[in-house]
Amino acid sequence: MERNNIHSLAGQKARLNHRIGLSFWPKTDFRARKAPSTLRVVCLRDTTAAAVTGKSWEKLVLNSDTPVLVGFYASWCGPCRMVHRVIDEIATDYAGRLKCFVLNADSDMQVAENYDIKAVPVVLLFKKGVKLESVIGTMPKEFYIAAIERVLAS
């Protein structure tokens, strides 16, 4: 019998913070087949940007040995959603070489003010606690990648 590898349960997509592989029988004719006795879940790596707050800022961003990308957003901002999707892709592409976070500028205004964030979306890149690059507004993925490569090369 053939098994499918899927990332959703019962046809519903789930937003996950880790890429996982689930193996089980296809949905069609599932009553006629014996269910697998075990379900193996393997966490490969972070595939989305985690949230950072004012309380965790120093620990996760400033004290990181790995370069860090932080996307500043607001819940009401449409372009921020597009940038967030790009940041999630970058988190997957650069896993292990770059940490990716997002920060709600409305909830953590003090951090946004410290970095002179006047509008969103804004992406800042840090290395060893120092801000090296900033990207203001919605840009193509290649624009963010060029900034990331400059930070990684420095």
Cα dihedral angle (125, 119, 53, 44), rounded to 10 degrees? -50
Q: What CA–CA distances, in Å, run from 144 to 6, 84, 120, 125, 138?
A: 30, 12, 15, 10, 10
**Residue 77 catalytic?**
yes
Residues listed for the chain: 154
| 71, β-bridge pairs | 102, 123
Which one of 80, 98, 102, 103 is the catalytic residue?
A: 80
Q: Vertex 55, ends 53 and 61: CA angle to 5°?
A: 65
Which one of 49, 52, 77, 86 is the catalytic residue?
A: 77
The CA distance from 116 to 113, in Å, is 5
Contacting residues for 79 by C-beta, under 8 A, at least 6 apart: 120, 121, 137, 138
Which sequence positions are flagged as catalytic? 77, 80
